Amino acid sequence: MSTHDHERQRGTLYAFAAYGVWGVFPLYFHALKPAGAWEILSHRIVWTFAFCLVILGVRRDWAWIRQVTARPRLAGGITVAALLIAVNWVVYVAAVLMGRTHEAALGYFLNPLVTVALGVVVLGERLRTLQWVAVGVGAAAGLYLAVAAGEVPWMSLALAFSFGLYGLVKKKVGASLGAMHSLMAETAVLTPIAMVLLAVLTARGATTLTTDGSLHTALLLSAGIVTAIPLLFFAAAARRVPLTTIGLVQFMTPVMQLIIGVVLLHEHMSSARWIGFGIVWIALLILSFDMLTNRPGRDRTDLTDHPA
Q: Which residues are within 8 A (CB) of 41 and not within 5 positions of it... i.e. 6 or more apart? A: 86, 89, 90, 93, 194, 197
Amino acid sitting at position 211: T
Distance CA 14, CA 241 (A): 10
Is residue 136 included in any domain, yes or no?
yes
Q: Is 125 exposed, middle or buried (0-12, 13-18, 19+ CB in 10 A)?
A: middle
In a domain, 308, yes or no: no
- Indicate the burial class of 64 (C-beta count within 10 angstroms; 0-12, 13-18, 19 or more): middle
Could you tell me if residue 150 is inside a domain? yes
CA dist., res. 231 & res. 306, Å (int): 7
Nearest to 44 by CA among 261, 195, 178, 158: 195
DSSP 212: S
Asked if the structure places residue 307 within a domain, the reply is no
181 domain-assigned: yes
* pTM for this entry: 0.88
- Name the residue range of residue 150's domain: 3-301
Per-residue pLDDT of the chain (308 residues; tens, 9 = 90+): 677 777 888 888 988 999 999 999 999 999 999 999 999 999 999 999 999 999 999 999 898 998 888 888 888 999 999 999 999 999 999 999 999 999 999 999 988 888 888 888 887 878 888 888 988 888 888 888 888 877 788 999 999 999 889 888 887 775 567 778 888 999 999 999 999 999 999 999 889 998 889 999 999 999 999 998 998 888 788 778 776 677 778 888 999 999 999 999 999 888 888 998 999 999 889 988 887 787 654 444 444 455 66
The DSSP line for 246-257 is HHHHTTHHHHHH
Residue 114 belongs to a domain: yes
Q: In total, how many domains does the chain have?
A: 1
Q: Are residues 273 and 151 in contact, defined by beta-carbon separation less than 8 angstroms?
A: no
φ, ψ dihedrals at 250, nearest 5°: -60, -25
∠ CA 175-178-181, rounded to 5°: 115
Does the residue 306 lie in any domain? no
Residue 284 lies in a domain: yes
